Amino acid sequence: MSRREKIYEGKAKILYKGPKPGTLVQYFKDDATAFNAQKKATLNGKGVLNNRISEHIMVKLADIGIPTHFIKRLNMREQLIKEVEIIPLEVICRNVAAGSICKMLGLEEGSALPRSIIEFCYKKDELNDPLVAEEHILAFGWASSAEIDEMTALTLRINDFLCGLFEGIGIQLVDFKIEFGRYTDENGDQMILLADEISPDSCRLWDSVTKKKLDKDRFRHDLGDVVDAYTEVATRLGILKQNPGTPPKLSIVSNEDE
Ligand code: UDP
């Protein structure tokens, strides 16, 4: 790991230079942060689970024709990806009201939305990733009109597919955040790829019947059993073998509120 050149270190992942030009290695850490990194902890095993869950989802999305940055998983914590220029927007898709939309519009958590809603947030930690309008995106040149249309169309297809995937394993996809990047292929053709990760860190996933939260909200709101919940998602997706004899342990190494 240390032999590789580190390109970038984020809150939950590290990017290293890949073995070939145009590739990177994405390393999943056990670190968890919330509320713009005011709350921090290390959750043993989270990185391994997110690596596997994100791989599983990216492969399934590629199968239905969604272009993604994912090339292959290298080991328990690393995957080989295509190097992209990240568009500085977080694309959020919501099916059910939860989190920031409840605060912003005075909605009750869990209330159905009239239809799926897509939001764009400007990726800027110092500003708390503010919600922005298409006007801001175009005026500041963060993405072109064609790129906004492409991201919107891809996000709706991803949402349709993931809603079905999770519904089939008794999980409601409440909302999720994705990121896209610009990529130029070997023929010089430019395209937009789904980048980053899709995991319980970036989605709200509720048990369809009990509404138990199986995602990062367990960490955000101190509900406990965070890694158990991620393990449950991985098990239901068929990634992990069910092993009822040895339930995974959640071990919080540090947890500080700044
Ligand atoms: N989300 C994310 N990273 C962020 C902000 C949001 O992965 O920096 C995900 C979050 O996990 C949820 C969805 O995007 O699945 C919508 O989040 P929301 O806007 O409700 O923000 P929050 O309430 O998490 O601050």
Question: Does some domain include residue 233?
Answer: no
Question: Does some domain include residue 124?
Answer: yes
258 residues of the chain, pLDDT tens digit each: 557 899 999 999 999 999 999 999 999 999 999 998 899 999 999 999 999 999 999 999 999 999 999 999 999 999 999 999 999 999 999 999 999 999 999 999 999 999 999 999 999 999 999 999 999 999 999 999 999 999 999 999 999 999 999 999 999 999 999 999 999 998 999 999 999 999 999 999 999 999 999 999 999 999 999 999 999 999 999 998 766 555 444 433 343 332
Question: Does some domain include residue 232?
Answer: no
Asked if 171 and 214 touch (Cβ cutoff 8 Å), the reply is: yes
Q: What pLDDT does 243 receive?
A: 62
Tell which atom from ligand 1 comes closest to the C-alpha of 220: 24
Question: Does some domain include residue 187?
Answer: yes
Token output for 210: 């009990």
- Strand segments, DSSP code E, in the chain are 6-9, 13-17, 23-28, 31-34, 39-43, 70-73, 78-82, 85-86, 89-96, 112-122, 131-132, 171-184, 190-195, 203-207, 252-257
Question: Does some domain include residue 251?
Answer: no
Length of the chain: 258
**In this structure, which residue's CA is closest to atom 13 in ligand 1?**
176
Q: What pLDDT does 181 receive?
A: 98
**In this structure, which residue's CA is closest to atom 14 in ligand 1?**
177
List the beta bridge partners of residue 184. 190
Q: What pLDDT does 21 receive?
A: 94
Question: Does some domain include residue 199?
Answer: yes
Q: What pLDDT does 252 receive?
A: 37
Q: Domain total for the chain?
A: 1
In a mutational test of the pocket of ligand 1, which residue from 155, 175, 201 has the highest number of ligand atoms less than 8 Å from its CB? 175
Q: Is 134 helix (H, G, I), strand (E, B) or coil?
A: helix
CATH code of residue 158: 3.30.470.20
Q: What pLDDT does 256 receive?
A: 38
In a mutational test of the pocket of ligand 1, which residue from 177, 198, 226 has the highest number of ligand atoms less than 8 Å from its CB? 177
**In this structure, which residue's CA is closest to atom 10 in ligand 1?**
202
Q: What pLDDT does 144 receive?
A: 98
Side-chain half-sphere exposure of 234, counting CA atoms within 13 A: 25
Question: Does some domain include residue 132?
Answer: yes
Asked if 46 and 55 touch (Cβ cutoff 8 Å), the reply is: no
Q: What pTM was computed for the model? A: 0.93
The residue range of the domain holding 139 is 85-207
